[in-house]
Amino acid sequence: MSSIEIVDNTVSQLSLLLSEKKLSSFEITQAFIDQTNRVDDRVHAFLHLDEKNFLKQAEESDERRKNGKTKGKLDGIPIALKDVISVEGQPLTAASKILENYISPYDATVTRKLKDAGVIIGGRLNLDEFAMGSSTENSAFGPTHNPWNLDCVPGGSSGGSSAAVAAREVPISLGSDTGGSIRQPASLCGVVGMKPTYGMVSRFGLAAFASSLDQIGPFGKTVKDVSLLLEIISGHDPLDSTSFPREVPAYGSLIEDKLEPSVIGLPKEFFGEGMDQEVRDSVDKVIDFYREQGHKIIEVSLPTTELSIPVYYMIATAEASSNLARYDGIRYTSRSKYSENAIDVYAKSRGEGFGEEVKRRCILGAYGLSSGYYDAFYLRAQKTRTLIREDFNRVFDEVDTILTPTSPTPAFKFGEKSDDPISMYLSDIYTISTNLAGLPAISVPCGFTKNRLPIGMQLIGKAFHESELLSIAHAYDREHNFGCESPQLV
């Protein structure tokens, strides 16, 4: 089997090939390294790739398998992580100049779980600086390009994680989602991306953006692949005080169970103005599919949806201004060479180290938390967040799942929205409210535009009901497999 043929396989297929001894982990890993070397000069999904260590882990996996000590279904499968997730001995830059020379001294909890499962960890993936953006244009080390059209953005902030899977540079990856940063790039790159329930996956070792919103989640070609990866990284962690003590189901096998007819809600606020017609047409076909499969489709209302953008950008920026205060030029961050005193160290190091979007959000957040404005902005935003959560609770009394588009448009051209922050922020209009409510949501590819740009649909589930959400997503995905189509990158 050639390297091109190897990288087109799903994780499930690769796992079977390993178990049947038709391929070794070394051969699989080498194939993905070869693919990265072929295409990443154009895609720029990776910020760091240690090929020698990557292959060393693969050899160790092969040795385990030879001795009958395989650690699980994904033992020997390669993965790469968004560069905000700690891996001991590897760089962690958050795509920011201020962390350009930082090497992580410890593993994130998800990293440790991957290692315990034998997954081969081999690189750091590009993103919008500190996960602040919707296009991966804000990376201090250059943008990532969409494999389906190199003139277009891959989405963000986990643009490197989605583009790497779409370009067949890795079969699976991890990203983080604060307001849509997994689902939106998954939609724009034509892969599956999932944000679990807040508290389902430990945030220990994740460089924080907005702590009450951040959640680590998986990318893959199929819902099945994402299910297998989610099963590994989920579970309670005493190192994360927001981690929820809950048993982790066997997602990878449960999604194969017979799916009973369910009630799917279509929120009318998500199907109004601003949606591209080709996106609407593709999502309408998804609705028709579920209706034909015996599911009941009803219209529902989430009236606070229009408030989600201002609420999110108040809460997220406030938490970012607090979290990013630690990057002060004193400890592990880069320090300005032009500092003459302590105040200079803080001001100049942060001024030189942070990009424009990070500065903008820190300033907005500090303003909203300042004396005299806290009640008017931050406190009011938190109260409205409760109303948004109550809207979802009310709707979930009527339905099992909510279906929406993931993004109002397909991938857009570089520079098209970078000079208009509000327009960029609206790219996440369909994803932000689920972060505010802490709910699980998944983006599944559901078609292409006439110009062959991917389109994704979003399914939103009840808190901690990942099994049901993945099952209904899998029912569509296994019949269509849009995520298994490859962009024309040689």
The catalytic residue positions are: 82, 157, 181
CA atoms within 13 A on the CB side of 130: 28
Looking at residue 248, the DSSP 8-state letter turns out to be P
CA distances (Å), origin 229, targets 122, 217, 220, 322: 16, 9, 9, 31
Q: SS3 helix, strand, coil % of the chain, rounded to 5?
A: 45, 15, 40
Which is it for strands 46-48 and 120-125: parallel, antiparallel or unpaired? antiparallel
CA–CA separation, 221 vs 79, rounded Å? 13
**What's phi and psi for 41, nearest 5 deg?**
-65, -20
Measured between its terminal Cα atoms, the distance across the chain in Å is 17
List the one residue out of 195, 227, 289, 161 whose CA is nearest residue 474: 227
CA–CA separation, 347 vs 328, rounded Å? 8
Residues 6+ apart with CB under 8 A from 399: 262, 263, 264, 265, 298, 300
